[in-house]
Structure formats: C-alpha cells, structure tokens
Amino acid sequence: MINKNVFRNLSYGVYVISTMDGDKPTGCVANSVMQITSAPATFAVSMNHDNYTNACIQKSGKFSVSILTEQSDQGLIGIFGFQSGKDINKFENVEKLEKEGLSIVADSCGYIVCKVIDKMETNTHTVFLGEVIAADALKEGNPMTYAYYHNVVKGKSPKNAPTYVEETVEVPKEGKWVCSVCGYEYKGELPFEEVPEEFVCPLCKQPKSKFELR
C-alpha cells in the first residue's frame, strides 16, 4: 500500500517558474524545486510534460524561480497555476522585473535564474537541472510553503503538480461555497447567494458560476 498523503510531510515551497515562449514570457506554478550543489550553484525543478512551460524551457534553455511569500497576491497562483500560457500572456498584468532575459515576479521574496545544463525524463515529468546565473532577494516576507497554501489559503493543487493527490471533500452540515477550479473557499460576510454576479474567485479569477455548494 502507498499512502500518498504521507508525502505532504516533506517540505515544499510555492514558486512561479518562468521562461520564454519565443519573445513572450510565460510560466507556471511549481512546488518541486531544490538546490543540488553549492559550487557551482545548481537547482533542479520538476515540470509535468503537459505543462506548456516544459516545452518552452526545452527551447529557451533557461528558467527562473520566483519565490512566493505568504503575503504575495493569491491571484498569482490563479494566473500561473490554473491557466495555460498557450491561451494567455500570463505576465501581461503582473508586475515584473527583467533578469537575464527572463521575467521575474516582483511580488516575491527573491528569484533564481538558471541555464539548463542537464535533464532527466520520467513517465510524466521532466526534471531540469540548471546552473545559477543570477539570484537576489526582493521583498521581505515568509516564503509560502505547500502546507500553508493548503491549510491557510485552502487551495488545491493542479493535476499536473508532482505532489498532486486526489482529495476527498468532507461536506460540513452547514455547507460551504467552493471554487470548483482551484478549491478556494468563500468566507465573505455577505451570503454567497447575494454576492454580485460580477464576483470572481480571488485565487484563480474564475466567475461566480464556477463555485459549488459542498
């Protein structure tokens, strides 16, 4: 028996991995990033084959890691975690910095830029090994952990995430309105039925119609 829930006892962060799609920046959320060596400094990132960012890293040969904090705009996870770079320009309305030809999320506590020096293929993911060519701290803040994202933000993982586990939702007696896309739970003072139709999920920017009573 393999109980995948035990994997969540490992420490993970929440990051935006960015690269270039030709002359357009793109990226996605990832939680599997780790330092491999210190001299030279190298990092590994795991990227699902179905993620558009995977193919873009293969072509560009570079990737960056923006380290999100607990104070970072939760909408960043919706933009980079639940939409595809094939369909939208993810950085169009995101404050960014340009480092070594890549776009960095400004609303983060730091960034790391790497050039790809090797990779390993699995059945579902590519593990890219990158040598650091730039890195620096940005805003102060507690780095967001995977546990914080699940337990405090109440978000769920995209199915492409290496740590994705299909979750069984326990329905409380009073019920709750939950975004069917990202798992965000509405906790506003106004009853959800009275929330204006223009309301969008603060996490993934999906419309009110995507919320379900559970």
The Cα 149–Cα 200 span in angstroms is 19
- Quickly name the fold that domain 11-151 has: Pnp Oxidase; Chain A (2.30.110)
Burial of 163 (C-beta count, 10 Å sphere; 0-12/13-18/19+):
middle
183 and 214 Cβ atoms separated by less than 8 Å: no
What is the sign of the dihedral through the CA atoms of 47, 7, 114 and 41?
negative
pLDDT of residue 169: 44
Instruction: Give me the residue spans of the domains in the chain.
Output: 11-151
The Cα 76–Cα 129 span in angstroms is 25
Mention every residue, 6+ apart, whose C-beta is less than 8 A from residue 122. Answer: none
Question: At 79, is the secondary structure helix, strand, or coil?
Answer: helix
pLDDT of residue 170: 47
Radius of gyration for the alpha carbons in the chain, expressed in angstroms and rounded: 18
Q: Is the pLDDT of residue 118 over 80?
A: yes
Burial of 103 (C-beta count, 10 Å sphere; 0-12/13-18/19+):
buried
pLDDT in tens, 34-83: 999 999 999 999 999 999 999 999 999 999 999 999 999 888 888 898 87
Q: Is the pLDDT of residue 179 over 80?
A: yes
Residues 137-163, mean pLDDT to the nearest whole number? 71
Q: Please, which pLDDT band fits residue 8 given cuts at 50, 70 and 90? A: low
Residues 189-211, mean pLDDT to the nearest whole number? 88
